[in-house]
Chain A
Amino acid sequence: GQQVMQIPQYQHVQEGEDFTTYCNSSTTLSNIQWYKQRPGGHPVFLIQLVKSGEVKKQKRLTFQFGEAKKNSSLHITATQTTDVGTYFCAGPGDGGSNYKLTFGKGTLLTVNP
């Protein structure tokens, strides 16, 4: 079945440093979505990428979708303590379903003030 792999599993940075998490799928994705889950909280939708090579920015966050639509990355510039949390990528599930999501294992970001 489809697998969505995400690295690294953990990342600890000093406040002000940059952070990147990478997501790779075993199959081509029609779209990829990114979510953030704060400690003790629930996943919150951040963004969806659809087009090959697409790049989207949200303030200090930059999201990229690979040309082959099998990988994606999330880059945070100059991290802040408010960026702490687990970042998940998710792709549409198997069987042609556009509605089920397969989540990566997530990257837990901790920021030292």
Chain B
Amino acid sequence: GAVVSQHPSWVICKSGTSVKIECRSLDFQATTMFWYRQFPKQSLMLMATSNEGSKATYEQGVEKDKFLINHASLTLSTLTVTSAHPEDSSFYICSARGRAQETQYFGPGTRLLVL
């Protein structure tokens, strides 16, 4: 149980375009989803916390207008990187927790390369 999927797994885009990443909890209802960014050989940095039906809470230094998060249902959250630039190239990972869970279950991640 506790499977989280992410789509796409890889994306290459041109600078200035927007990219949408989906995160789905497949076998449980995710009351909270988290979006992380991980640069090569670095730790996971939390970008934002997303609760179903409410606005996401962004960490300090993360531009909410650039990284749009929507958590429209208990099984789906999306992260849209707007007007992507090469410095946005990174590994984006979502995680989800259910109502009765303290642990987070991670999706397989999305590697974004902005040219």
Is B8 interfacial (CB-CB < 8 Å)? no
Structural contact, B102 and A43, CB atoms closer than 8 A:
no
Quick one: given A42-B108, A43-B44, A88-B44, are A100 and B103 in contact (CB under 8 Å)? no
Q: A8 CB to closest chain B CB, in angstroms?
A: 14
A48 near B43 (CB under 8 angstroms)? no
- Identity of the chain B residue whose Cβ is nearest the Cβ of A105 in the assembled complex: B43
Shortest CB distance A38–B (Å): 11
* Known contacts A48-B102, A98-B102, A99-B97, A106 near B34 by CB under 8 Å: no
A58 CB, min distance to chain B CBs, angstroms? 15
CA A104 to CA B42, docked complex, whole Å: 10
Say which residue of B43, B95, B108 sits within 8 Å of A88 (CB atoms): B43
Bound state CA distance, A41 and B42, in angstroms?
Answer: 13
Question: Cα distance A19–B60 when bound, in Å?
Answer: 35
Q: How many residues on the B side are at the interface (Cβ–Cβ under 8 A)?
A: 19
Chain A CB within 10 Å, residue with most, of B34, B43, B93, B107: B43
> How many chain-A residues does the 8 Å CB contact rule pick out?
21
Verify B43–A42 contact, CB threshold 8 A: no
Interface string of A19-51 (1 = CB under 8 A from B): 000000000000101010000011111001000
Beyond A43-B93, A88-B44, A106-B43, whether A100 also contacts B49 by CB under 8 A is yes
Q: Is the CB of A99 within 8 A of B49?
A: yes
Q: A45-B103, A99-B32 are in contact. List 5 more A-B contacts (CB 8 A).
A: A35-B106, A45-B104, A48-B103, A93-B46, A98-B102
Please name 24 pairs of A and B residues whose Cβ atoms are closer than 8 Å in the assembled complex, sorted by A. A31-B102, A35-B106, A41-B108, A41-B109, A42-B107, A43-B44, A44-B106, A45-B106, A88-B43, A93-B46, A98-B102, A99-B102, A100-B34, A100-B46, A100-B49, A101-B34, A101-B104, A102-B46, A103-B43, A103-B44, A103-B46, A104-B43, A105-B43, A106-B43
